[in-house]
Each structure stands twice: as C-alpha cells, then as structure tokens.
Amino acid sequence: MLKKVFIPIALTILAFSSIKAEEVTVTDATINAGQTYNMTSNNTYILDGFVFVEDGAVLNIEAGTVIKAKQGEGESASALVIAKGGKINANGTKAKPIIFTSELDDVTEAEDLPIGRAGLWGGLIILGKSTINTPGGTEQIEGIPSNEPRGSYGGNIEDDNSGTLKYVSIRHGGTNIGANNEINGLTLGGVGSKTTIDYVEVYANSDDGVEFFGGTVNTKHMAIVMCEDDSFDWDEGYRGNGQFWFSIQSPTTGNNMGENDGATDPEDSQPYAMPMVYNATYIGSGLSTARTSSRGFHIRDNSGAYYKNCIITDLGGAGLEIEDLTDEAAEDSRKRLETNEIQITNNLWWNVGDNTLNGIAPDVEGSKPYSQDFVRTYLGANKNMIQDPMLAGISRTTDGGLDPRPNDGIAWTAERAAIPSGSTFFTDVNYIGAFGEENWLDGWTFLSQAGFLGDLVQLSVERNETVSNNNLYAYPNPVESNVTIELNITNNSLVNLELYNSIGNKVVNLDNTYLSTGKYSMDYNVESLSAGAYFIVLTTDYGTFTYQVIVK
C-alpha cells in the first residue's frame, strides 16, 4: 500500500549581502542599438531618465541584481523600455530575485518606506511585434512621451520573443509623466508568445500592476500587490494565457482586479481580446472597508475573457460587470458572452459585495449595473459557487498573517474546469485558485522579505484527485530524490511521457511505448535537476495531460 509523504514547507529567508555594491549610472546613451549590455549582481544600477534597449540590443541581468531609478516626473521620469526588436534576459532565482525599485529604497531594510508607497519612479515597459487590433496595426505606448519613436509597438509576428522575466520584483513605481498618464508597473505592448514571463511581482504601483496592450504573451505566477489602480488590465486585442495570477489590494486604494477592454476605437476591431486565465486568486480591499471601487472583473469594449478555477474574495464592490449597450445592434461584451467568447466557470466567490452575486456598486461607465439578470443567470448556470474558499490567512500588514493557500475545503474538492486539450502552457492542478500546498510567493517577493507572509505551515487538505486529471499523478511533491509517476491509461494508446522545465524546455523523454488500458507507475530520480518547478507531460492518442512537480 502506498503511503503519501508530506514534506514541510520551509520558510526561505531572502538574504542580501552586507557588502555595499558599487553604483553604476545607466542613461539612454549607455545601451545602443545592436549592443549587448550586462548587469551583474556585484553592482547596483541607477536608471537616470528613460533608458531604451533599442532594436537589436540585448540587456542581460544576472540573478540577484538590484536596479534602482532616479525620481522625477514628466520628461524627467526614469523608466526602462525594451523597444521593438530589443530583448531583456532577466533571469532571477527564488534565492536571488532581480529587483527594480526607486533610488530611495534600501532593499536590505523592508521598513524604510511606508507600506504601499508608490509613484517614486516609472516602471518596466516591454514592446514587441505581435498583433494589436488598433487600426494600422501599430500604436504608441502610454506612459512615455508621445513624440518618442521608440515607443511604437505592434506588428504581425505572433511568436515574437522579447526575452525573459523570471523571479523579478518591481516596486514603488508609476510616476506621472503628464495629465492622467502614469506608468504601469509592468507594461506589455504587442509582446509575443515566445517571451517568457514567470514569477513576477509588482508591489505598490500608482497605476495598474500589469497592462497588456494586445499581443500574445503568456504569463505565470504573477503577483500584483497593493497597486493604486487596476491589478491586471488588458486592451487592444490581447490573446495570451495566464495561470497562477494573484492580487491583493490595499484597504485604501485599488480598482478592478481585472480591467478587461477589447478595443478603443472602433470597438469592433479584430482580433478580439480573448485571454484565458486559469487559477487566479484575487483578494480585494476588504469587505469591511466598503470600498465599492474594489471590484472583481469589468469586461467591456467588446472584450472576451475566460476565467476558470479562480477565487474572488474580500472586496466591497461588484464581482462582475459585463458591458451591455442599449443599442441592440452594437458590438459589445454581452455579445461575446452570448457567442461563448466569455466563459466564467468553476469559480469561488466569497465576501463579494453582499454575497448574493448581485453586487452593490453603481455602474459609472454607462453600461448596466452588476445586478443584470443575464449575468446572474449565467454565473448560476456555470458552476460558480458562493462558498468560503477557506484561505489560510488574509492580511495587508507586516504581521505575518497573509497566507492565500486554501485549507481543507471546497477549493480542493469542487469540480474544476479542464485545462484546454493539448495545451503545453497550462498546468493541470487539483485545486481552485492560484495556490495549492506550496506558497510560491515565499522567498523572493517583497511580501516575503517584509514579513507579510510569516511562517508557512504544512496544510492538511483532502484532495479530489479524480475531478480534472485522473490520468497522471506524481508523488511525493515537492520531491528531493525519487518521484513516483502514476499513469491511468483509459484506452489502448501509444504513450509518450516527457519532463519539461518551467520555461518549456524538454529535460528528458521518460518513456515512449504502447500501453493497453490499465494503471502503471514508474520511478524517476530528480537529484540531477536544479531546484524549481517541472512539468510531467503525458501524451496519448486521446489527449495530453500535465502534472507539476516541485524539485527541492
């Protein structure tokens, strides 16, 4: 009889060297077109003004590097811009994250700035050549001067590659460069699908946490923390995928968790925005604050959206608003719902408005309020549940009380929406929300460094392994040496079993054989692998299944 092994999750302390790094000032003249520039962890880099990585240039940033930016507003603001054709390779690790912040921030002292202090510098902007739905196919990015030609984005290269962001923390940004023109923490304009974005935190930004302007880039493990406007914003036909998205709002600031716009003018421009988001956990400003601007999803301007297996909780405003124009002939987001291009299924809603899915926020955009009958009917018919996800802890201060993992309960046992068949991006997990037994925020984020998370304890949960993926399972997980992989082959099939790392590179082909219907197992030693997330991929004649394994 197999006995499951539970491995305690240890708290990883974010450590910084006590040796003062040399400061290196970087200006727009530092990195030229076609040049490769390397930032190393033994230095601290100071951005002075807008710094562009131009067409053909490559910026490599070593794990553990700190990049700070000078203060300033308007044309005196400081920001890093990866222009079309440029590339950034920011490969941090859990133990050595890459930090972008203000020159006023002492990253060795978590309490040197007030909680939520925002607007001290610009942000990180990445521009690519993927499709947007703006007429003409290109646009000028918001957040930088409109007369700057290197601010252009868009094109027709859907798999454009702007580089890699991994284990990156972006803090205290969003300075104002003009009237109502702030810079997002992370701006992605026309970024293509070969760009890798995984484990990125945006903390205390005065505008949106991350905004997608068209493009096809996919993102995983995104944490948007106490930003003053929207958490996740998309526009102009964004069509990427997202999984394991997390957001928590301040008690005093923050608007929509998801501001989902399709197009600006005309609103029927194509391609339509059609992102797929699985396994998000969104925590608002708190039900007790009665901040009705703290809302869930606002879907408008003909945007589509797929939200599945998500948790939306602790917000005083509306949970969901879908644009429904009075002109029945007009294209709007309600039409996207009626054509199945909006799918909001298998989600947990708790402490949202008055907990009746009616919401309490008046609409200020011109469409009908949240209590639209068609919205309520749709949510009720598509396995959306008003039940407590039993998160281990919600806190917005440095008291060690924030733990967004779900304890034993509905998040582990409710029916889940299946991930798209044949997907190599989505990870099939056995829980609803962005977290299972592992808190992936631990060890590399500002939340971890500043003490928001506290000590992590082992959760005791009752899983339902057969709800979504009973074809593939692996244990123990996390694993240090030998992992046992179990297969349930439901039809006679040629079987290919492979192991991939977190950026989609195949590590090893585990087996390739023909199997008849039945259950099988094999052991694999992981001691030669670096610590991190890996994905077992089972390919059969009747479908592809994935399972995430954490190597310690």
Do the domain assignments include residue 15?
A: no
Distances (CA, A) of 368 to 257, 262, 321: 19, 18, 8
Check residue 220 and give its pLDDT: 98
Number of domains in the chain: 2
**Torsion angles phi and psi, residue 359, rounded to 5:** 70, 170
Check residue 487 and give its pLDDT: 87
Do the domain assignments include residue 5?
A: no
Same domain, 347 and 490: no
Side-chain-facing half-sphere of 226: CA atoms under 13 Å: 21
Q: Which residues of the chain have pLDDT under 50?
A: 1-19, 356-371, 464-469
Same domain, 382 and 522: no
Do the domain assignments include residue 546?
A: yes
Same domain, 520 and 387: no
Check residue 538 and give its pLDDT: 86
**C-alpha 455, offset from chain centre:** 24
Do the domain assignments include residue 337?
A: yes
d(CA 57, CA 59): 7
Same domain, 128 and 31: yes
d(CA 414, CA 403): 20
Same domain, 401 and 522: no
Same domain, 396 and 285: yes
d(CA 489, CA 472): 9
Check residue 364 and give its pLDDT: 36
Length of the chain: 552
Same domain, 216 and 319: yes
Same domain, 99 and 171: yes
Beta-bridge mates of residue 120: none
Check residue 49 and give its pLDDT: 95
Within 8 A by CB and 6+ apart from 257, the residues are 230, 231, 232, 247, 249, 282, 284, 295, 296, 297, 312, 315
Do the domain assignments include residue 465?
A: no
Do the domain assignments include residue 330?
A: yes
Q: What is the pTM of this model?
A: 0.79
Check residue 539 and give its pLDDT: 84
Paired tokens of 154: 């868009």
Class of residue 525 by CB neighbours under 10 A (exposed 0-12, middle 13-18, buried 19+):
exposed
Class of residue 149 by CB neighbours under 10 A (exposed 0-12, middle 13-18, buried 19+):
exposed
Same domain, 347 and 229: yes
Do the domain assignments include residue 75?
A: yes
Q: Is 447 helix (H, G, I), strand (E, B) or coil?
A: helix
Q: Which of 416, 434, 449 is the last residue of a domain?
A: 449
Do the domain assignments include residue 31?
A: yes
Check residue 180 and give its pLDDT: 64
Same domain, 445 and 486: no
Range of the domain at 171: 22-449
Paired tokens of 442: 């631990």
Same domain, 378 and 495: no
Check residue 178 and give its pLDDT: 65
Check residue 412 and give its pLDDT: 92
Asked if 294 and 316 touch (Cβ cutoff 8 Å), the reply is: yes
pLDDT in tens, 302-329: 899 999 999 999 988 888 888 888 887 6
Same domain, 388 and 343: yes
**Max CA-CA distance within the chain?**
69
CATH of the domain at 485: 2.60.40.2550
Within 8 A by CB and 6+ apart from 378, the residues are 337, 344
